Amino acid sequence: MTTALRRLRNYIDGEFRDAADGRTTEVVNPATGEPYATAPLSAAADVDAAMAAAEAAFPAWRDLVPAERQKVLLKIADRFEERAEELIAAESENCGKPIALVRSEEIPPMVDQIRFFAGAARMLEGRSAGEYMDGFTSIIRREPVGVCAQVAPWNYPMMMAVWKFAPALAAGNTVVIKPSDTTPASTVLIADIIGSVLDELGHSRGVFNVICGDRETGRLMVEHKVPAMASITGSVRAGMQVAESASKDLKRVHLELGGKAPVVVFEDTDIAKAVEDISVAGYFNAGQDCTAATRVLVQDSIHDEFVAALAKAASETKTGAVDDEDVLYGPLNNANQLKQVKGFIDRLPAHAKIEAGGEQVGDKGYFFAPTVVSGLKQDDEIVQQEVFGPVITVQSFTDEKQAVEWANGVEYALASSVWTKDHARAMRMSKTLDFGCVWINTHIPLVAEMPHGGFKKSGYGKDLSAYGFDDYTRIKHVMTSLDG
């Protein structure tokens, strides 16, 4: 007996629609490896319709006083709380994530982030107006950029959608957002929530639009003539393609791409505490996090003790079913990602040693065991390239100089952490580590008030914080003659 697949649809100008040409793609639950829904495979006509809706809605949304946009965002946050169980179920099915962790680790920060940007809507700061030339007064206007084309990733589809739409809407922009083709369900549900709020408060539902599709759909969005800005969270390759496409008409680009976070552990560290925190930060969400603590550099004097403790922690870390409250993480997101993680393990050099894990778990879904690999060298593939899986690598360094050299010696520069009791050393490391974030004696906490974003091939632009809000605005100088 075949179970009917759920039908997901685009959300354009306040209506749920199939793709104009009727094409669909199957959506697979990574915990089972089985399809559970179909989603539109949107093409040019769908992108045109979504952009037209966002463009038409923009003038009225732009011209609202900030307090009115704040009301909308606060109501959206309230509705997220009211419909939390629906969002949790959608995201768990989207990603195979443990239900308890989505409830505790994703819903509260998302609601908080929406409320933060609701407040940011009323904090449009500029430099002081004044007379910088005799006889003239200059003022600064902070304005929205226009329609924003946004592409969200599959690792945190629900939260990354929030990181994109909340600052954009708060600043007065309108949005067309595309979820990953493997994880559209929660974003479609978000469209229903936001659309209902816009309708209740008397605003055009064209302010927020969702189109489902693949890489070609994303390309059409970025190259479309309407958007003033393209924002993507994804791979370095995808970011480069977006930057190239957007350059054809000089669109603004906001990129949050890959990471290869160094976790630098010095010999004065509390090993038990560091191992506990690092293993959670490395394996949470199956290591599918650009900031995951998966590249450990540990001082040689404590290397063996640290590796043994980390391997023990890995053996005690559990992956499994979404309703098991004892699991730390669920499956990898899709079959291609499982293949990629397996490939890194299969290609390990002879000098590498698998201390724990290293294999697929179970006979269905895309689960992979918590893994520790030691004995690695700086130029090894698994050290240099993002695995995006539950695999923690360990290197041994001799001194602070070598630790900095190896930590910075990758193409990514998103996040990092330093583990030491020496305050002066921590301050030196925070200065010399070339990453957008440096955590000290912790790894992975984020707050709405502080920026998230990197350097080098990790992209540019900031998410969260007032800096993230600023990215969705433009600056206009107005000069007035005092002669009347």
Q: Which residues are catalytic?
A: 256, 290
Buried b (16+ CB within 10 A) or exposed e, 145-160: bbbbbbbbbbbbbbbb
Residue type at 133 in one-letter notation: M
Q: Which two tokens mark 176? A: 């067309």
Nearest-angstrom CA–CA distance, 297 and 452? 23
Question: Hey, what's the torsion of the CAs at 425, 430, 435, 437, to 10 degrees?
Answer: 120
Residue with tokens 């206009």: 476
11: its two tokens: 């959300």
Shortest CA distance to 114 belongs to which of 58, 158, 165? 165
Tokens linked to 422: 């020496």
- How many residues are given for the chain? 484
> Contact at 8 Å (CB) between 294 and 286?
no
* Of 56, 222, 233, 71, residue with least CA distance to 155: 233
C-alpha distance from residue 284 to each of 159, 271, 319, 326 (Å): 15, 20, 10, 13
C-alpha–C-alpha distance, residues 384 and 376, integer Å: 11
> CA nearest 388: which of 296, 287, 319?
287
